[in-house]
Chain A
Amino acid sequence: MIPELFFAYFAFAIVLFSIIVITRKNPVHSVLWMLLLFFHIAGLYLFLNAEFMAVMQVIVYAGGILVLFLFVVMLVSLKEEIKVARFIGAWPTGFTFAVALFIVILMSLRSFVAGPQGKYTIDLIKSESNIKVLGKLLYTDFLFPFEIASLILLVAMVGAIVLAKKRFKG
């Protein structure tokens, strides 16, 4: 009973905050609601025994990406942006498309069959700790993707500097 109540609260809060995020007129309000949304998603991850992912959610998303968003919102001027209409004129098309997508996912969920269980039971993870298991996998089986991820981050860093720097003429 208690887990269901917990899940119900988190699910309700997540859906509500997502709707609020995409309907605010002022992007600053959107970013702040999104902060609350990310904290709730981190709570849901804790609930799923994924401590490391919860911490990553808070550090990377709430601490990194959202601060970046806030900086950019601060750098661009939103004076005339607040005056224009919230949604485009053809928003019912987008709404229909989104609802249709949701119904398709719902239909496909009904024929979903779960795969075989892996070897990482809760007892194993408890005896070793989540971070240790994850780190071992990441540095053995997934070493190559891990290095590629670091390369992607390096490219993103260089690309952001090149794109956003001022060009001097002559």
Chain B
Amino acid sequence: MVPLNWYMLLSAAVFTIGVFGFLSRRNIIIMFMSIELMLNGVNISLISFSHYLQDMRGQILAFFVIAVAAAEAVIGLAIVIALFRNKATVHVDKINEMKG
């Protein structure tokens, strides 16, 4: 039997890689993929908890996470398309209209 801690370590590693990708890449598509990576890391830990604690609620939570991830990807990619139509770039540092 694989210990639960290994799954949590794996999930933490995937989440951390997602955080690093989000912070250090400036291509908006790859930033979105980093967000998906983080959500997947959380899903791994939710489903492993569901298995080890013998409770189905973890899987249901992961189900909702997948639904929200789908919605987020759809909206985000629509924003990317609208942005590319106006600015012709996917590099987020070049999008500085608001001077934030």
* A residues lining the B interface (CB < 8 Å): 3-4, 7, 11, 14-15, 18-19, 21-22, 24, 27, 30-31, 34, 37-38, 41, 44-45, 48-50, 52-53, 56-57, 60-61, 64-65, 68-69, 72-73, 75-78, 80-81, 84, 86-88, 90-91, 93-95, 97-99, 101-102, 105-106, 109, 112, 114-122, 133-134, 137-138, 142, 145, 149, 152-153, 155-157, 159-161, 163-164, 166
| Binary contact track B18-52/A, C-beta < 8 Å → 1, others 0 | 11110111110110111011001001100110111
**Contact between B13 and A15 (Cβ–Cβ < 8 Å)?**
yes
Residue of A whose beta carbon sits closest to that of B21: A22
Q: Is B56 an interface residue (CB 8 A)?
A: yes
**Contact between A153 and B10 (Cβ–Cβ < 8 Å)?**
no
Residue of B whose beta carbon sits closest to that of A15: B13
Residue of A whose beta carbon sits closest to that of B14: A18
- A-side contacts of B14, CB under 8 Å: 14-15, 18
Minimum distance in angstroms from B59 CB to a CB of chain A: 6
Chain B interface mostly: helix
Residue of B whose beta carbon sits closest to that of A92: B24
Minimum distance in angstroms from B76 CB to a CB of chain A: 9
The 3 closest A-B pairs by CB, nearest first: A94-B23, A22-B21, A118-B55
How many Å lie between the Cα of A105 and that of B11 in the bound state?
A: 10
* B residues lining the A interface (CB < 8 Å): 1-2, 4-10, 12-21, 23-27, 29-30, 32-34, 36-37, 40, 43-44, 47-48, 50-57, 59-60, 62-64, 66-75, 77-82, 84-85, 88-91, 93
**Contact between A34 and B36 (Cβ–Cβ < 8 Å)?**
yes
How many Å lie between the Cα of A38 and that of B56 in the bound state?
A: 22
Using known A-B contacts A22-B21, A69-B33, determine if residue A53 contacts B63 with beta carbons closer than 8 Å.
yes
**Contact between B32 and A69 (Cβ–Cβ < 8 Å)?**
yes
- B-side contacts of A53, CB under 8 Å: 43, 47, 59, 62-63
Known: A50-B50, A91-B24. 11 other contacts (CB 8 A): A18-B17, A44-B44, A49-B51, A76-B90, A77-B84, A101-B16, A116-B53, A122-B54, A134-B60, A134-B63, A163-B75
